[in-house]
Structure 1
């Protein structure tokens, strides 16, 4: 019955994710004809930077929400997330101002709104996961991704340029957060600001592993995209950064569709696993299925990546197809690893995950920089694929043979 519940919930989220991803994919050929590669490159740089901050917008405390079964401590945890997000958004406004002064990016004033939209959506998605409101989560994905692409097209037709590319996902993200904000936590949304500081400190201490280990892990992982965009733009220009961004955006779409839906169901499933052997069975079965699903993806990119991109997005975007072909092995490995990463949180292995992630980021940057020096943009893509093969192979082996599971009753209660 548990496996049937996992499958049913995954299919529900998958259906919503399919519709959510279909709109950006279908609108892609129009978007690449109303925006230039250089505009995509500038947008991708700022969006990658905002996403880098947003991924730790609540210090990853939101990922502890599925661990709190009772309404009262869950409300305290929500209050803690709200306060951290407020501080991070304020800091991102300062960062946006610095970018404006440093790089003369007139659109960097949107930085705090981008951080708020992305971080609030992630936070409230975990709130919906805790309540297992999978139908609502499915519609939220449609609004976030499909709505963002539609707005980008509208703003592109209005010739808003980079600002239009940014406003699309920002407005869609804020609307998605509003949708996911129901039901309100115990005491209501206004009540979150009346939670005693003593309760907040106790809750922060209880789940300190998330900011101590998972926050730097997530930040370093997201930093990968920011560093890549910075290196490529500095080495080969904004247009090259646009080619790289488009290749990753569409090649990683299956990971966002299948992996994102599966991760939202897999995390609470692993938390609820009665013992280690059951958790390992779930992980191994998931890994095997994802490996099988990734094979057609990598084959299609290797055989026809340049042709597909030139046909769909216009001849000017064929270099993005060359990048996609070279990134195919990395894309396939990332497709498998993305949903499985929640196992490190469910198994309280954030410290190990952080150490492994740091090693992975070093390998990624070395592969990217070495490839850029030896073979330009396409060489960078092949360098990344080669460098990350060893990293993901070890990651999959470690998860499939994990032994250090949390002890029963490890978590302690928190005073209200």
Structure 2
């Protein structure tokens, strides 16, 4: 367990520095760009996030699992090949069809930036693959440095373009550079492990067949997850308009800071640790998981209380008068912060025990809940505050339900171990 927390510390240290850069830049960025500009960025990020699910057909989760370097390298190459093909297809499709696609989604504001969409998806997919490789190698200090670099590059470019007053494209290019900022550092490390002699088409095809359940269950599941995570912004942008979407986007950005700082970094270290422990030791995994859950619940209370009590005041002072509504939206959604932060790392347990179909049903249920919510909102003509309240309540209940189901999986594995 000591290795887990030392790895978490290494990741969190870098993430704190990266997030500090981001946090300190937000008050500047919100004064250089309007809520409408932020709404365009939020819609772009959300659409990229949905498309990212297809980038490696989810084979990236396989990279930490093989015991030998050879099969791990072939797993990563399989992901890179799939990413290249998917990104090329996406470019062709958006080139010919982007006006119709954006009109269908009521996101015509993205028309001028269509060409950045496939670039963004490619860079996001590449970083995901390279990050997972670094996790496999337990290079958590490298990941920390990469996080700081990409945050600095992206933040500096957003501010520079904002001073040039070029509008939403400055935010979008800056966001793309955030995604690209760590590629060179991580790719250099990847090349130190690369060995062309052990890469073969036969091995890549074997991995694709052996882990066929990944695209069969995890790909649809990841698509549903991405839709669930990004649907709110896309819905608010198309139904309530870019300005409200920008305010909701800022609220979600602030709420996501502790989640991305703690939840994601803890999740990476946690996955590396339990993948090393292996599926034959569920008792140890359960012990680590329960200890981690308790700590995350405690850690999440401070940001939750601050947002609930001082939401509007914090946003007004920090971001300016036109962002007060964003503070109100953050207060409404703060309740799900605790549940998300606590449950996010534990989902990796399903990877270790190959519960891909289980993962699918979890995400399908969340997707259907949100479809029902947004359909009800349109049908009843709900105000944005009411929609956000229902959204927060449903997600909170769902995250805690996921946590319960994950520990049920571990109990079943322990029971099987006792029977053997």
Query: Residues 300-329 of structure 1: CA distance to partner in whole angstroms, max 9, x if unpaired?
Result: 221111111111111101111111011011
Per-residue deviation at 1:197? 2.9
Map of 2:392 onto structure 1: 385
Per-residue deviation at 1:244? 0.9
1:99 paired to 2:106: no
Map of 1:52 onto structure 2: 50
Distance 1:4 1:99, change over 3 A: same
Aligned to 1:401, the other structure's residue is in SS state helix
Residues 330 and 384, structure 1, Cα contact 8 Å, conserved in 2: no
1:153 paired to 2:162: no
Per-residue deviation at 1:367? 3.2
Per-residue deviation at 1:187? 8.2
Residues 39 and 161, structure 1, Cα contact 8 Å, conserved in 2: yes
Please, which of 302, 306, 311 is the counterpart of residue 305 of structure 1?
311
Map of 2:241 onto structure 1: 237
Aligned to 1:341, the other structure's residue is in SS state helix
Aligned to 1:66, the other structure's residue is in SS state coil
Per-residue deviation at 1:172? 3.2
Q: Which deviates further from its counterpart, 75-84 or 141-150?
A: 141-150
Distance 1:100 1:171, change over 3 A: farther
Q: Which deviates further from its counterpart, 204-213 or 370-379?
A: 370-379
Aligned to 2:342, the other structure's residue is in SS state helix
Residues 117 and 171, structure 1, Cα contact 8 Å, conserved in 2: no
Aligned to 2:182, the other structure's residue is in SS state helix
Aligned to 2:236, the other structure's residue is in SS state helix
Aligned to 1:58, the other structure's residue is in SS state coil
Per-residue deviation at 1:160? 2.2
Query: Residues 380-408 of structure 1: CA distance to partner in whole angstroms, max 9, x if unpaired?
Result: 21011121233222212122232344999
Q: Distance in 1 between matches of 2:302 and 2:281?
A: 34
Per-residue deviation at 1:371? 4.8
Per-residue deviation at 1:198? 2.4
Map of 2:383 onto structure 1: 376
Per-residue deviation at 1:208? 1.8
Per-residue deviation at 1:75? 1.8
Q: Distance in 2 between matches of 1:141 and 1:371?
A: 38
Query: Residues 231-287 of structure 1: CA distance to partner in whole angstroms, max 9, x if unpaired?
Result: 212221110110111110111110100111111111121122351111111111111
Per-residue deviation at 1:210? 2.0
Residues 19 and 146, structure 1, Cα contact 8 Å, conserved in 2: no
Residues 144 and 169, structure 1, Cα contact 8 Å, conserved in 2: no
Per-residue deviation at 1:365? 3.4
Per-residue deviation at 1:377? 1.6
Distance 1:368 1:285, change over 3 A: farther
Please, which of 127, 133, 145 is the counterpart of residue 127 of structure 1?
133
Distance 1:344 1:28, change over 3 A: same
Map of 2:15 onto structure 1: 17
Per-residue deviation at 1:147? 2.5
Q: Distance in 1 between matches of 2:243 and 2:62?
A: 40
- Number of aligned residue pairs: give it: 404
Q: Structure 2: 5+ residue runs without aligned partners?
A: none
Equivalent residue runs for 1:79-228 within 5 Å: 79-97=77-95, 98-100=97-99, 102-103=102-103, 104=108, 105-184=111-190, 188=194, 191=196, 195-228=199-232
Aligned to 1:183, the other structure's residue is in SS state helix
Distance 1:215 1:14, change over 3 A: same
Equivalent residue runs for 1:58-73 within 5 Å: 58-73=56-71
Please, which of 401, 404, 410 is the counterpart of residue 394 of structure 1?
401
Q: Structure 1: 5+ residue runs without aligned partners?
A: 409-416
Residues 58 and 119, structure 1, Cα contact 8 Å, conserved in 2: yes
Q: Distance in 1 between matches of 2:314 and 2:180?
A: 33
Residues 53 and 115, structure 1, Cα contact 8 Å, conserved in 2: yes
Q: Distance in 1 between matches of 2:129 and 2:164?
A: 32
Per-residue deviation at 1:205? 1.0
Q: Distance in 1 between matches of 2:291 and 2:260?
A: 19
1:7 paired to 2:5: yes
Q: Distance in 2 between matches of 1:214 and 1:278?
A: 25
Query: Residues 317-347 of structure 1: CA distance to partner in whole angstroms, max 9, x if unpaired?
Result: 1111111011011222111122222111122
Map of 1:285 onto structure 2: 291
Query: Residues 32-76 of structure 1: CA distance to partner in whole angstroms, max 9, x if unpaired?
Result: 111111111111111211122224311121211111231211221
Query: Residues 177-207 of structure 1: CA distance to partner in whole angstroms, max 9, x if unpaired?
Result: 1210133458848x49x94432221110112
Distance 1:298 1:370, change over 3 A: farther
Residues 99 and 108, structure 1, Cα contact 8 Å, conserved in 2: yes
Map of 1:364 onto structure 2: 370
Q: Distance in 2 between matches of 1:151 and 1:69?
A: 41
